[in-house]
Structure 1
Amino acid sequence: MQRGDRTVNAYRNGQSVSPMLSLSQSDHAGRRRTAVRINTGSRMLPAAVLFALFALVFSGCAPNYDLLNLTAPASVQVEQFSPEAGLCADQFITHDLPHITTTVDGIIRMYEANGAGVAINDLDNDGDLDLVLGNYDNPNSIFWNLGNLNFRQEPMPVGRTRAVTAVDVDGDGWTDLALTRVGGAINFWRNRGAELAADAPGRFVQEFVSGLAKPAYAMDWADLDADGDLDAVTASYDIGLLTELGNEYLLKDEAGVYIHWNEAGEFRAQRLAEEAQALAIALWDEDGDGRLDLLVGNDFALPDQFWRNHADGWQLASIFPETTHSTMSFDLADVDNSGRTALFASDMKPPDTNPETMRAWAPLMEAEHPPLPAGDPQRMENMLLVADKDGAFRNLGRDRQLDATGWSWASLFGDLDQDGQLDLYIVNGFAESTTFAHMDDHELVEQNQVLRNTGGRFERMPDWGLGSERGGRGAAQGDLDGDGDLDIVVNNLRGNAQLFENRLCGGASLQVALRQPGSANPAAIGATAFLETPAGRLRRDVRVTRGYLSSDPGQLHFGFPAETQPRLLLIRWPDGQWSTVSGPAPGQRLTVSRTDLGQE
């Protein structure tokens, strides 16, 4: 089927679909799909064997490839992509999207300033990544990717959206949409792709999901009890609920942090905390016991809260020497390729001490942010929290010059220049009618920041073309034009959303999509992939939520210098089993599918 001939599905209520939107300035090569399949072995890889394999590869010795037969059975489908020569610009190219997140009258009052998120994922299983952008007063938008940066926009009913996640909740192999709303519970849209012909209308239908009824602002999804299906974590934004609902919010007593356990498609809520000011949630295995732990990032003076996921239940723990004061977003990554996962948390701090900058910030700092008491672990600045070999965390934000980037919202790691190091992109700016009444249009205008990773340290790259001043909130990354590198989408407030097309043309890449057909977690949320290269080991994790109220596709991106020949791809599946692929080549997109969990 030719993508250009595909009819984008309209909603059940008959809302119209906009004409095709073309962002491309010239033809893109895209991908060549091939039917190559490679079958791996059929047994779990023992820890001792895995350690030996890591040691052999990391020491530069040739590994014994007989070991690769000791894996979970899987197949590999290979697609080739090749960047088009002549499209390089040594920067990102900006494209406006016809989507504006705004309020009824365009005036931003109080917590309307928080904006909405964005999700990138393949919603119609055609191999191209689609976009979903939340909105406040206007409808949300789906941008169906027709290839070569051509999109077709479709309005999605119901606005007042905060978080946007694209995740296969019911495990049918089609990505659903779960959104949080101002003053309400999760708004769930089921993808009916398994029931429909490719060009049939009614792709998404809004449904009530039993048990997902608590007020939610931040949200994430993962298999928290190792039963094979996806559970949900939600946290409320209490000051927003109080503003929106008043006494009703106080009387209901339903706010806070919840685990929603998935029990055969119905959810059972477990309350972990009775209050929250959550703008961000992070799930990762902090202590290496095989269970995902939980960090909730709170706004204002309510400290962030961390729970360890023990066999006998969730337990609050204090593991960070310092935390952000008004946590806006989280992202997790191995920033120095050391094998240690670092946590980046964004906050608010003037990006410089220029007189003009300080005049803009001073009234806010004096009125709303008095000095914190001595001994308080909270700091109003970004933090990069890294654990040492003994598991103790240190804040390296100031040392790496990441502490002050402005009024920061979304923060995302990604290898933008494909040199094997994860760079950092941060979205900035603020607008609100009282907080910045002293500013033109009540807005603090700041540039977004991109910081290039030079080996664990970072340098600002103003020439990369990512310094937009649109006042962004949510952001996500993905290869939207099929050329192998990471593009960026930002959902701005009071201005057009933007797609930043990556034309840096640096290095090479390998993309990996993990699949578990026949399981209740087809997209392998919670899996980890390691790519062994002559220069070292790269790690990527399959997660749903990243940054601020947004979600990336599960398609993993490994960048590396152009001359690099990867040696081995190792995959740790959510159930702890391992699969391996030897000799993956640059310029490939691998779809690795388990074959022991059901039929493909």
Structure 2
Amino acid sequence: MGSGGGFLDYDNDGRLDVYLVNTAGPNRLFHGNPDGTFTDVTAKAGVDGGGSVGMGCSFADYDNDGFVDIYVTNLGPNILYHNNGDGTFTDVTAKAGVGDPLWSTSAVWADYDHDGYLDLYVCNYLRFSRADHRRCSYHDVPIYCYPHSYDGAPNTLYHNNRDGTFTDSTARAGVREDPRASKSLGAIWFDMDGDGDADLYVANDTTPNFLFENKGNGTFADISLVSGAAFGEAGVAKAGMGVDAADLDGSGRFHVFVTNFSFETNTLFWNEGGGRFSDRSIEAGLAGPSFVPLGFGANFLDYDNDGLLDLFVANGHVFDNAPLINPSTEYRQVNQLFHNLGLGRFQEVTGSAGPCFARKDVGRGSAAGDYDNDGRVDLLVMNNNGAVVLLHNQARARSWLGMKLRGAHCNRDAVGARVTVEAAGYRLTQEVRAGSSYMSQSDLRLHFGLGSRTQVNAIRVTWPCGKRQEVAPPAALNRYLLVTEPS
């Protein structure tokens, strides 16, 4: 099922580094160099996973010391690496109390109670052990057993105690579900309703997806069914894998995209406002192209800087003998790129996106980030039993603006901050998020494509603690701004 990886800047040099999780063999940390190359610094950093069966990762400055830390999910106890600020990390899992012993998948960070410190939600998948490795078949063809062959495992919400330790607050916060219904693979925190609180969406494999509404008092309400976000249009649970959310129409509302199994189609849950979602996969042009592929990673990004967020999907089957089960599918598959046409419509442009989109891999996690700081968002794709692929964006030059947010009273990474940029005929809202896609994490910086525009008219920031700030538009575009929370 693994694995994931992502972009982070562990040494605060302004260049993105890469962390990769392996299910067999050590995890790897690569330092980003000024010339666009990377250096393996795993041994020095001390973040190789210690022989664990790695699944995914996410990055966040959980203690607000100014350096991003690394959380690794495993089949077995997870690991929290504290960034020492000198290029090395220390395993603080035992002290922190976040060594979830189950089969963990995605992990996502947010300050759900506005105390200035990031909390951690960990997805768990199935109750599985090597001693209970079952054998299954489909019309006499051996296959890995489907999720319904195993009991689900409960997810965990860890509350940050602000002293380097965490407390399991799953039940107290109201996000504990029947573990039989929570075979979770992907998750994302996002402000569903614009009230300033972090809400939680969870993609489940063959069971209904979860949507928890933050009530603003440290507790959540399960609105999965009433919101329309638990099932697609057919009212049947799909095999949810990865998830991302974005403002696709300038409304300021975040729409949720979930990747699913082969012959199910991926799902775009359109945020209608008022806590209601509708399945617009067909209308958006995303259903048909996703019918045969098996989707995992998902990332919204403006790859051509035209001002509209496009969509990348990493594909790959779970059965290495997939053609024996259905001749119309393959184990190794091409990834997909969809161009946002506006008005909630997408067009697949995989065939014209370059030779890298013709190669077939067993895609899993994916992350978006501008690793060479040229203003064009690149992609990192993790493959099962294959090499990682770094896709360098070579789209033609257009205007853009990037932002790195730094919290003062809120969490240092400003995770949960909302930024709205306005320009002539343009309005787009984005959030700072730590963890999304499939077991992966994208760049914490925000990137706004601006097309042919030469200036922006307004930049509005809503910080995670609720403070609102008007940022003076820069005199020139095509640069990264550092925006610091006012004291």
TM-score when scaled to structure 2? 0.85
Aligned counterpart for 2:158 among listed residues 233, 257, 260: 260
Instruction: Write the letter of the residue equivalent to 1:536.
Output: Y
Aligned partner of 2:432 among 516, 536, 542: 542
For the aligned residues, what is the CA RMSD?
2.2
**Given the alignment of the two structures, is residue 503 of structure 1 paired with residue 416 of structure 2, yes or no?**
no
Q: Secondary structure at the match of 2:352?
A: helix
Per-residue CA deviations over 1:355-376 (Å, capped at 9, x if unaligned) read xxxxxxxxxxxxxxxxxxxxxx
1:514 match: 405
| Equivalent position of 2:96 in the other structure | 210
Determine helix, strand or coil for the equivalent of 1:419. coil
Of 280, 284, 293, the residue aligned with 2:186 is 280
Relative to structure 1, the CA distance from residue 145 to residue 326 in structure 2 (aligned partners, 3 Å threshold; closer, same or farther) is: same
Letter in 2 for 1:273: E
Separation in 2, partners of 1:387, 1:543: 18
* Superposed counterparts of 1:222-371, under 5 Å: 222-238=110-126, 241-244=127-130, 246=132, 255-264=153-162, 265-271=164-170, 272-275=176-179, 276-300=182-206, 302-310=207-215, 311=217, 313-317=219-223, 318=225, 319-320=227-228, 322-323=231-232, 325-350=238-263
Alignment of 1:491 with 2:382, yes or no, is yes
Q: What is the CA distance between 1:497 and its match in structure 2?
A: 0.7
Cα 1:307–1:338 shift into 2, 3 Å: closer
- In the TM superposition, residue 482 of structure 1 has moved relative to its aligned partner by 1.4
Unaligned runs of 5+ in 1: 1-113, 197-201, 248-252, 351-379
What secondary structure sits across from 2:128 in the alignment? Answer: helix
Question: How far apart are 1:287 and its partner, in Å?
Answer: 3.1
Matched residue type, 1:217? T
Is the counterpart of residue 178 in structure 1 residue 178 in structure 2?
no
Shift of 1:595: 4.2
- Residues 57 and 72, structure 2, Cα contact 8 Å, conserved in 1: yes
2: CA distance, partners of 1:205 / 1:343: 35
Structure-1 separation of matches of 2:132 and 2:385? 27
Deviation string 1:289-328 (CA, Å, 9 cap, x unpaired) is: 332222221112x211222222372222221163350001
Give identity over the alignment, percent.
Answer: 30
Q: Where does residue 165 of structure 1 map in the other structure?
A: 58
Could you say if the C-alpha distance between residues 232 and 489 of structure 1 is closer, same or farther in structure 2, counting changes exceeding 3 Å? same
- In 2, Cα distance between equivalents of 1:119 and 1:183: 21
In structure 2, the partner of 1:61 is: none
The SS at the match of 1:531 is strand
Query: C-alpha displacement at 1:192, in angstroms?
Result: 0.5
In structure 2, what is the equivalent of residue 457 of structure 1?
Answer: 345
Structure-1 separation of matches of 2:72 and 2:427: 35
Structure 1, residues 392-415: CA drift from partner, whole Å, max 9, x if none? 321110111212421111011000
Does the CA-based 8 Å contact 1:512-1:590 persist in structure 2?
yes
- Distance in 2 of aligned mates of 1:390 and 1:443: 41
Please say if 1:408 is aligned against 2:277.
Answer: no
The equivalent residue for 2:139 is: none
Write the mapping of 1:114-125 to structure 2, written as runs, cut at 5 A: 114-125=1-12
8 Å contact from structure 1 (residues 533, 564) kept in 2: no
Q: Tell me: CA distance 1:137–1:443, structure 2 relative to 1, closer, same or farther (3 Å).
A: farther
Deviation at 1:138, TM superposition (A): 1.1
The change in CA–CA distance for 1:439 and 1:149 in structure 2 (over 3 A counts) is: farther
Match of residue 446, structure 2, among 546, 556, 567? 556
Measure the CA separation in 1 of the matches of 2:302 and 2:152. Answer: 40
- Taking the aligned partners of 1:402 and 1:382, their CA distance within structure 2 comes to 7
Q: Is the 8 A contact 1:401 1:458 kept in 2?
A: yes
Aligned-pair CA distance for 1:274: 4.1
CA displacement, residues 489-527 of structure 1 (integer Å, 9 cap, x when unaligned): 11111221111111112421100000024x461110110
Moved more, 171-180 or 310-319: 310-319
Structure 2 CA distance for partners of 1:412 and 1:161, relative to 1, 3 Å = same
Which amino acid in the other structure matches residue 144 of structure 1? Answer: H
The reply on whether 1:427 has 2:314 as its aligned counterpart is yes
The CA deviation at 1:149 is: 1.1
1:190 paired to 2:82: yes
CA distance in 2, matches of 1:115, 1:254: 17
C-alpha change, 1:448 and 1:511, in structure 2 (3 Å) is same
Higher Rg = 1
Match of 1:135 among 22, 30, 38: 22
C-alpha distance in structure 2 between counterparts of 1:383 and 1:595, whole Å: 39
Over 3 Å counting, the alpha-carbon distance change for 1:245 and 1:288 in structure 2 is farther
Match of 2:414 among 515, 520, 524: 524
Asked if 2 retains the 8 angstrom alpha-carbon contact of 1:431 and 1:443, the reply is: no
Residue type at the aligned position of 1:458: F
User: Does the CA-based 8 Å contact 2:410-2:463 persist in structure 1?
Assistant: no
Contact 1:530 1:571 in 2 (8 A): yes
SS for the counterpart of 1:444 is coil
Alignment check: 8 A CA contact 2:72 2:80 kept: yes
Q: Tell me, in whole angstroms, the C-alpha distance in 1 between the residues paired with 2:210 and 2:131.
A: 25
Taking structure 1 as reference, are residues 164 and 503 closer, same or farther at Cα in structure 2, changes over 3 Å only? same
1:460 CA drift (Å): 1.3
When residues 563 and 295 of structure 1 are mapped into structure 2, their CA distance, relative to the original with a 3 A threshold, is: closer
Equivalent pair of 1:297/1:329 in contact (CA under 8 Å): yes
Paired residues of 1:230 and 1:520 also in contact (CA < 8 A): no
Report the residue type matching 1:475 in the other structure.
S
Indicate how the Cα distance of structure 1 residues 540 and 532 shifts in structure 2: closer, same or farther if over 3 A, else same: same
| Aligned residues of 1:258 and 1:273 also touching (Cα < 8 A) | no
Higher relative contact order by CA 8 Å / sep ≥ 6: 1 or 2?
1
Distance change in 2, residues 1:389/1:126 (3 Å): closer
Q: TM-score, normalised by structure 1?
A: 0.69
Structure 1 residues 435 and 555: CA distance shift in structure 2, 3 A: same
Count residues in correspondence.
Answer: 436
* Structure 2: gaps of 5 or more residues: 134-150, 171-175
Work out whether residues 326 and 348 of structure 1, in 8 Å CA contact, stay in contact via their aligned partners in 2: yes
Tell me the SS of whatever aligns to 2:282.
coil
The 8 Å contact of residues 257 and 274 in structure 1, kept in 2 or not, is answered as: no
Cα deviation for residue 542 of structure 1 reads 0.2
Find the aligned partners of 1:166 and 1:418 in 2 and give their Cα distance: 26
